[in-house]
Structure 1
Amino acid sequence: MKPFAIAFSLLLYTFLVAAQNNKPFVGPLPKWITLNETAVAPDSLLAEAEDGVLYLAYEKQVNPAANTTFYKAAIQMRTQEGVEANSEITVNFDPSYQKLIWHHIVIRRGNSRINQLQVSRQKLMQQESDRAKHLYDGSLSAVQILADVRKGDIVEYAYSLAGRNPILGNLYTGTFDLQFSIPVAWLYYKIVVPPHRQVQFVNRGNLQAPTFNKQEGMAVYEWKAANLMPLRTNNNIPYWYDPYPVTMISEYKNWEQVVDWALPLYAVSTSATDNVSKLATTIKKQHTSDLDRLLAALRFVQDEVRYMGFEMGEGSYRPHTPQQVLENRYGDCKDKVFLLCRLLHDLGIAAYPVLVNSGKGKVLNQMLPAPTVFDHVVITAQVNGKTYYFDPTISNQRGAVDDIYFPDYGYGLIVRAGTKQLSALPRQKPAKVEIVETFEVHNLQGEASLSVITKSYGSAADELRTKFGNDSNREIQGGYTKFYQQYFKNITPQSLTFANDSITGMVTTTEKYKIEDFWGEVRNLKKATLEPFVITNLVSRPDNNLRTAPFALGAPVNCNEKIIINLPEPWEFHNDKIQLDHEAFSYKAQYKGIGSRVELVYNFQGKKDHVTTAEFNSYKKAIKKLDEQIGYTLTYSIEDATASGSAVGLLSGYFPYWYIMLGLSVFITYQWKKRR
């Protein structure tokens, strides 16, 4: 049996044993909770209801000393569509350390309360929602399908989750969301702690402080809100920006305390006889300088240890031993980092794990100290007095050590004795792309050929190496062709080649096409309008809505694009230069032609990944100005045989195949919408 099959079988067996021991059951309400009546929604809130339902209540009450959290929800079915979409209840839990205790599931219909709680009818499902990412956590979903739900019914359910991941210890951390994208008639949060336990609270986006009182010798903090209207936010917000107000809670006093929690997890121990030590010895023999040894160790972990993780229970935070990771040749971020730390330690290079948040790292400094605010691990190393940062989960990185791309994680916590605060991590170098598009226009009937040579550096090259390693040339060529089909409908691909320079890290792609419709014809004019095809699609164009949130631009990129047109006869050209500068970008264009040849030279430099609300209007004006002069039109009069070329406005809207062209996840921006 293959190692993966053995490992997966062991995981499945562990999961089955845990699930058998922690089946959901029915239990009484915890004595420490506060009982609240389900609210009646006013008409103003009903008007805001979406998807055929209205949340009449959402409650979360926490008792850290008992390691128990109580939940309650009440949902009113407003339409038949709401009934169809919301007539099942799903609760997720980790059977390795949690117990699911049901208190009630009822349908309230008029004055009747119809009991629907039947644990025997519930299905336990192992969803493994991150399996596509090669991550397995063993969590379960308890699903109950409700019977005889009707329009107008109120479905109310309550349950508790008992247990806490033992690796997190006894200190509590958590969050309370204070507003949502949907209306909520009653929102209630409560935390009950012994008076000797010191709990910190930080509000973001909401100044509501908890009320405090004492009950039976316990400190009680409560948050109450009635008739919460939905928060409508803008589209195209930066991935790290969360517009929804939240209260963060933590018993950790400072970041040093989090470091003390993490240090034992990454304690390096050396064995002169294990395979990790043997690998370090091999690297040392093959490379003479510390910098070359660092690069060799990094590439081994990145490219020879595939990404996969079993993150059940303690495995969500505790890495496997470096020896295990090396033997298995797979691991998740923390496994890869721990193996690389051990390799570099054996090579005499100082290296430490760095805890980061892959999505919210830029605002990590606004969060309370807690292990749970991190979802990723990277590494820092010191060589010859210089500090480097790497992400061992990124494969196919090439080039010199100083040129290796490191994502913009914002802030991180270095797991090193004596660390007392977060560190501002180095900002990523902008991806660099150079494109030369050469048109050979054979005649005035529309026949032409197009050659596209693209040189990519940094993260752009990394992504292309991965793309060409995973996808077929046919798939990639099809995407590239669709990109140019927005400009030339009758374009046919001829060839596509890929070249990788592992020394410099540069990737070169060469595309060749045949075009049948280079010229369009309008009122006895032959006409061809060109624009910087790649740059046009790279620019983020805002809508006309008022902004209450930052506007996402994607990761900064430095793009040089040169268009060469060799025409079938001499032409009269209007040469020109254009330059635009804004806080978010700079743009340059130069048009020059002589004889039968014209060159259009463009540069676009993104300076940051978003514009603030204060900068938004000036950004809109700058993009409008850019679009008014980004194109270049060639015309030929059929009647008097005169030809000319001059700058014009934007020919077309931007096109998503730019992302396909480069395969750049670093350019992709996405909206994040919180909804409960």
Structure 2
Amino acid sequence: MQRPDMKPIAAAFLLAPMIAAPAMAASPKALPASNRQVQVVPAPAWVVPPPTPTEQADLPTAAMRFVYVDNQAFAGPAGLESYSAYRIRLLKPEALALGTITLSWLPDAGSARLHALRLIRDGKVTDLTANAKFEVIQRESNLEASMLDGRLTAVYQVPGLQVGDEIEIAQTVTIKDPTLPEHRSGLAILPQGGVPGAFRTRIAWPEGAAIRWQATKDVEVAEPSLVGANRVLSVELRDPAAPEEPVVGAPPRYSIHRLIEFTDFARWPELSARLWPLYDKTSRPAPGSPILAEAAKIAAATSDPTRRAEMALRLVQDRIRYVYVGLDTGNMTPASVDETWTRRFADCKGKTVLLIAILRELGIAAEPMLVNSNGGDGLGLRLPNPGLFDHVIVRATIAGKPWLLDGTRLGDRALDLLPVGAWREGLPLREGGGELEKLPTPSPVHPQAVNLLDIDATAGIDQPALVTARRILRGNDAASLAAWFATVPADQAQRAIKEYWRGEEPWIEGDKASWKLDEDSGILTLTLTGEGELGDPDEAKTENGSVDVPASGLTAPSRLRRPRSQDQTLPWVTAYPSFNCWATTLRLPPPPANQRWDLSGEPFDKLMGGVGYWRRLSLADNVVRTVMSRRFQVPEISAAQATELNGQLASYDGSAATLSLRQTFKGAAKWPQQPQPFSDATDWTQGGTPCAPAQNAKPSAAGQ
């Protein structure tokens, strides 16, 4: 999702006053001509001179040196004015690319102003400010991801630049979001590396403004002081050392360093209530709207609320394509449902209000919920700020259960097959305001992917076997991949499928590859047929001809260790909600006289470090069947659970099952008969596939 931001120098500092949620806008209104050009004006009165340079020597391997980086912001009546100045010394030829000066801004929310641009060579200053001719372009850098935000970029090439020169620039970009014109909030990230130079962050606001702020514990900053009519928060780092290394394996919230944040929202419910009218108004269809007719069709088709919700979700996902256009007020405001229906495209906000409108007509309660697409770990530790969210979904209560529905996904056909979301916290938008909520993190029920191998070795295990390999995907991954397959030549799609299976099962020599999408179920199947030789062809055959059964072993997890210098009590993050399943059918010839097939390997069902490792296997009627899965059941585990995991590793044996021929004689031990974990008739595209213990193969009551 697109986030408007300002990155004067990404390596040194980021000030993101309004990291706005993605949106779909109405037609752009006329803008002042000055907003579309770089304005050359003096620096604002609230700006103070830059910090003095430091004495530390240049790093011998560095291509450039920051003399200073000065970022100042004023949260005042004109909006959030972000002043950025820096002086940089070019030490090596590869730094000459820094002579491409770029300014970036959103013209519907503010302007770009240049205060100074100088070239310094051997102590002589050449002032380029007045004569610098910036080329202004509207460069949609995320067009391939169906994202348009109207951002303008001004570009200027400093002429005659040489190694040893210094560039000094000062600029201000103003943002006053039309949808939240009275509010100010932002984040400032101080240098994240150890580099010589002077780095200052200064945030000011009018005395009496209800601005709250906080900083991470590694930022030493005094209480804001009164300077004239403004309160000023200022911190300066001189030749800073690198911050602490991220704690190995810890959740992201423990790796946030050198951060200052500020906001004038007192509490999360205030932000929720402030945004709610934008969604409520745009989710109301006009009388006689075709949306009402679509809802009526669903109502006539079924009275089951679950089925109604599934049909509504499919309508929004399939018939409204995703496009983000952050123009005009669209950075925060959804397009109206009727406008979306006419256009047949929308972003997450437009899709959200359309889904809410249809569900409302069907008698299903639903509300918008802001989330962060990266999970949002630790949002509750931050100050209320709309820029912390980049996505919005629907929370609906269906047949008494809460469900999280995402209209921007593709291929969701059944509620009980919805994947577990990665969102950790969310903010419901309500008329009276909603608190930031922890979202449920149930153990995933359905595998994200199932890999199936059917191996016909009836000609003998020492002969090339006929192999059919299938990968089954559902939901968004399936729909996105199928859309790509549909746009490329057939031979290119076949090559991609063969390449995938070559990485998974390199022993298979693929002959034919194909793909098939079932529109009704949203299931995509990638199929490869070919042949392969069981066992390692470079190894000498053993006397009993033993071979490992392909895709029947699960590697042990790695030992969880941190450097002694790091906090050993912090939790460990997992790959939740990853859930993958593998099943193999190996068809054998009848054994020779006085011999029998023997399968070595034990079933297991072990929980280690919040991850379920599970396997079942059988040998009956000359057919081997194995099925196994790895399921991450929780987002993170405690330090004590990590210690327990380390202690379990010695006893874990997830090695592949081994097939061999054994001599038969009276009293010889036989492979213990095990129930077949699946059969040739098993439908792996449905829910309830035999990929996990039966007692866990039921949807969570929380729905998501």
In 2, distance between residues paired with 1:127 and 1:450?
49
Matched, 1:481 2:495: no
**Alignment partner of 1:576: what SS?**
coil
1:42 to 40, 56, 73: 56
Shift of 1:564: 3.2
Q: After superposition, give the CA deviation of every residue in 1:476-511 in whole Å (9 maximum; x if it has no partner).
A: 5434433443544560233545363846x6665554
1:491 to 509, 518, 524: 509
1:204 to 216, 219, 225: 216
Matched, 1:159 2:171: yes
Matched, 1:373 2:399: no
Counterpart of 1:605?
631
Amino acid at match of 1:280: A
Structure 1 residues 384 and 110: CA distance shift in structure 2, 3 A:
same
Structure 1 residues 204 and 528: CA distance shift in structure 2, 3 A:
farther
Asked if structure 2 preserves the Cα contact closer than 8 Å seen for 1:488 and 1:518, the reply is no
Q: After superposition, give the CA deviation of every residue in 1:447-487 in whole Å (9 maximum; x if it has no partner).
A: 1111234555xxx4442243224315655543443344354
Asked if structure 2 preserves the Cα contact closer than 8 Å seen for 1:322 and 1:338, the reply is yes
Q: After superposition, give the CA deviation of every residue in 1:40-79 in whole Å (9 maximum; x if it has no partner).
A: 3524x726x65x1232322211111143221112222221
1:279 to 286, 290, 294: 294
Counterpart of 2:339?
324
Asked if structure 2 preserves the Cα contact closer than 8 Å seen for 1:22 and 1:95, the reply is yes
Structure 1 residues 228 and 611: CA distance shift in structure 2, 3 A:
farther
Asked if structure 1 preserves the Cα contact closer than 8 Å seen for 2:467 and 2:508, the reply is no
Q: After superposition, give the CA deviation of every residue in 1:331-376 in whole Å (9 maximum; x if it has no partner).
A: 1111111122222233333222112221252322111112222211
Q: CA RMSD in A?
A: 3.7
Amino acid at match of 1:208: E
2:115 to 83, 91, 103: 103
Counterpart of 1:588?
614
In 2, distance between residues paired with 1:385 and 1:579?
33
Asked if structure 2 preserves the Cα contact closer than 8 Å seen for 1:407 and 1:428, the reply is no
Asked if structure 1 preserves the Cα contact closer than 8 Å seen for 2:587 and 2:623, the reply is yes
Q: If the length of structure 2 is used for normalisation, what is the TM-score? A: 0.78
In 2, distance between residues paired with 1:564 and 1:157?
67
Matched, 1:266 2:247: no
Shift of 1:19: 5.7
Asked if structure 1 preserves the Cα contact closer than 8 Å seen for 2:54 and 2:196, the reply is no
Of residues 191-200 and 571-580 in structure 1, the stretch that sits farther from structure 2 once superposed is: 571-580
Asked if structure 1 preserves the Cα contact closer than 8 Å seen for 2:85 and 2:168, the reply is yes
Matched, 1:303 2:318: yes
Structure 1 residues 184 and 527: CA distance shift in structure 2, 3 A:
farther
Asked if structure 2 preserves the Cα contact closer than 8 Å seen for 1:193 and 1:219, the reply is yes
Matched, 1:62 2:77: no
Q: After superposition, give the CA deviation of every residue in 1:15-37 in whole Å (9 maximum; x if it has no partner).
A: 99656653112111222112124
Asked if structure 2 preserves the Cα contact closer than 8 Å seen for 1:488 and 1:517, the reply is no
Counterpart of 2:437?
423
Structure 1 residues 533 and 228: CA distance shift in structure 2, 3 A:
farther
2:537 to 520, 523, 526: 520
1:338 to 346, 353, 362: 353
Of residues 309-318 and 560-569 in structure 1, the stretch that sits farther from structure 2 once superposed is: 560-569
2:242 to 230, 254, 260: 230
In 2, distance between residues paired with 1:602 and 1:98?
56
Asked if structure 1 preserves the Cα contact closer than 8 Å seen for 2:443 and 2:633, the reply is no
Amino acid at match of 1:315: G
Shift of 1:398: 0.9
Amino acid at match of 2:115: H
Of residues 419-428 and 184-193 in structure 1, the stretch that sits farther from structure 2 once superposed is: 419-428
Counterpart of 2:372?
357
In 1, distance between residues paired with 2:119 and 2:571?
42
Asked if structure 2 preserves the Cα contact closer than 8 Å seen for 1:179 and 1:246, the reply is no
Asked if structure 1 preserves the Cα contact closer than 8 Å seen for 2:138 and 2:152, the reply is yes
In 1, distance between residues paired with 2:35 and 2:260?
34
Q: After superposition, give the CA deviation of every residue in 1:124-176 in whole Å (9 maximum; x if it has no partner).
A: 12111121121211111111111222223322211111341222222210111
Asked if structure 1 preserves the Cα contact closer than 8 Å seen for 2:268 and 2:384, the reply is yes
Structure 1 residues 378 and 590: CA distance shift in structure 2, 3 A:
closer
Asked if structure 2 preserves the Cα contact closer than 8 Å seen for 1:398 and 1:462, the reply is no
Q: After superposition, give the CA deviation of every residue in 1:259-292 in whole Å (9 maximum; x if it has no partner).
A: 2321221224453322222333333333334433
Counterpart of 2:157?
145
Q: If the length of structure 1 is used for normalisation, what is the TM-score? A: 0.81
User: Structure 2 matches for 1:657-676, cutoff 5 A?
Assistant: none
In 2, distance between residues paired with 1:474 and 1:550?
47
Matched, 1:532 2:558: no
Q: After superposition, give the CA deviation of every residue in 1:408-438 in whole Å (9 maximum; x if it has no partner).
A: 2121111112234112223365241444423
In 1, distance between residues paired with 2:106 and 2:32?
9
Shift of 1:229: 2.5
Asked if structure 1 preserves the Cα contact closer than 8 Å seen for 2:118 and 2:127, the reply is yes
Matched, 1:80 2:93: yes
Structure 1 residues 286 and 440: CA distance shift in structure 2, 3 A:
closer
